[in-house]
Structure 1
Amino acid sequence: MAIEKVREYFSQWGMEDRILEFDVSSATVELASQAVGCEPKRIAKTLSFMVDGKPILIVVAGDARIDNAKYKAQFSAKAKMLTPDQVLELVGHAVGGVCPFGIPDDVMVYLDKSLKRFETVFPACGSSNSAIELSIEELEKYSNYSAWVDVCRGWEE
């Protein structure tokens, strides 16, 4: 199970006990915000795309949407999301639990600037009923991100 992979991943820092597991689904931003008890925008959703034949993950705020023009300017490609089967095969997590933790080394991770307005955010932990509260600095550290990007719209306050 992917959540066990994530639990093992966080155990190297003694953080596995910080993973929250819910009796209800947290597979969507709305459901995750209800399970966690926070505003939907503080859910850090992880979106998966194919760029140059390789999977990438972009972690964005719950109220952000991909802006196709910004995405194309950043990655020199049209935004093409992975299918659920591709996500499971290439990233190792099923849709609803996709996160930047416990993933293959060749999967590049990017963080969208829509997250920078929060002290803490809640990304999933490999299952459709899990999350972990991380500061932005912790998200940077544990996601092994490649770069901050600006590829979203709809979140500006």
Structure 2
Amino acid sequence: MTNTAAALHPTVEEFLQKFGLVYKIFECDPDFADTAQFCEKYGFSEGQSANTIVVAGKADPLKFCACVILATTKVDVNRKVCKLLGVKKGSFATGDQTKELTGMQIGGVTPFGLPDIPIYIDSAVLAVSEAILGGGNRSTKVLLDPRELLKIPHVEVIESLGIPKN
């Protein structure tokens, strides 16, 4: 773990500094950036790993949002997210859509430094004592008290945004 921001995605680093979030950087092997492999290799639980997932609402033009949920859950796209976006259908954004929209690689997407899209955080994320999130790339993660996420402008906390995995 390091306190230097050298390895963070530049947009993420700038955002964290601008909004005064208190965090630590955790460097990782890019081959182990995906949640399950990361948690197993570095000793984190999926209950403290917060994933940022970009969802596309089927509209013309598409409506995007970012959902932050614990890795023990999955995004309730069809009921919660579609209602929040005001659309009838939604799906996970493709890898290409996510990269184009965020400038971040899958496995490193984070709510820090996103374009002007809604950011929804599952209330369960705020209940853990420490959360680890993507650093904008596959070689870093951001470790923080999840209440720091409330410093993100226009973030909205949603009850049951994440639903248990079957």
The count of aligned residue pairs is 153
Pick aligned residue for 1:147 from 131, 138, 156: 156
Percent identity between the aligned chains?
A: 24
Asked if 2 retains the 8 angstrom alpha-carbon contact of 1:24 and 1:35, the reply is no
Aligned to 1:55: 64
Q: Distance in 1 between matches of 2:8 and 2:64?
A: 17
Counterpart AA for 2:132: F
RMSD: 2.5
Does structure 2 retain, via aligned residues, the 8 Å contact 1:46–1:57?
A: yes
| Cα distance in 2, alignment partners of residues 24 and 128 from structure 1 | 5
Conserved in 2, the CA contact under 8 Å of 1:32 and 1:40? no
- TM-score, length-normalised on structure 1? 0.82
Q: Shift of the alpha carbon at 1:103?
A: 1.9
Normalising by structure 2, we get a TM-score of: 0.78
User: Which runs of 5 or more residues in structure 2 are unaligned?
Assistant: 1-6
- The structural deviation recorded for 1:20 is 1.5
1:70 aligns with one of 76, 80, 86: 80
Q: 1:145 to 1:111 in 2, by over 3 A?
A: farther
What displacement does 1:46 show?
Answer: 0.3
**In 1, distance between residues paired with 2:122 and 2:48?**
13
Shift in CA distance, 13/47, structure 1 to aligned 2, threshold 3 Å? closer
Q: Secondary structure at the match of 1:147?
A: strand
Matches within 5 A, 1:123-134: 123-134=133-144
C-alpha distance 26-76 of structure 1, shift in aligned 2 (>3 A): farther
SS of 2:68's equivalent in the other structure is: strand
Q: Secondary structure at the match of 2:148?
A: helix
Deviations 1:106-130 (A, max 9, x none): 1221101231331111111101121
Contact 1:91/1:107, CA 8 A, preserved across alignment: no
Q: Which residue of 1 aligns with 2:24?
A: 18
Query: Quick check: 20-29 or 130-139, which moved more?
Result: 20-29
Assess, with a 3 A threshold, how the Cα gap between structure 1 residues 17 and 116 changes in structure 2: closer, same or farther.
closer
Q: Which amino acid aligns with 1:49?
A: V
Match of residue 128 from structure 2: 118
Q: Which stretches in structure 1 are left out of the alignment for 5+ residues? A: none
The alpha-carbon deviation at position 15 of structure 1 amounts to 6.2
Equivalent residue for 1:94? Answer: 105
Report the CA distance between 1:146 and its aligned residue: 2.7
C-alpha contact (below 8 Å) 1:59/1:110 kept by paired residues: yes
When residues 146 and 13 of structure 1 are mapped into structure 2, their CA distance, relative to the original with a 3 A threshold, is closer
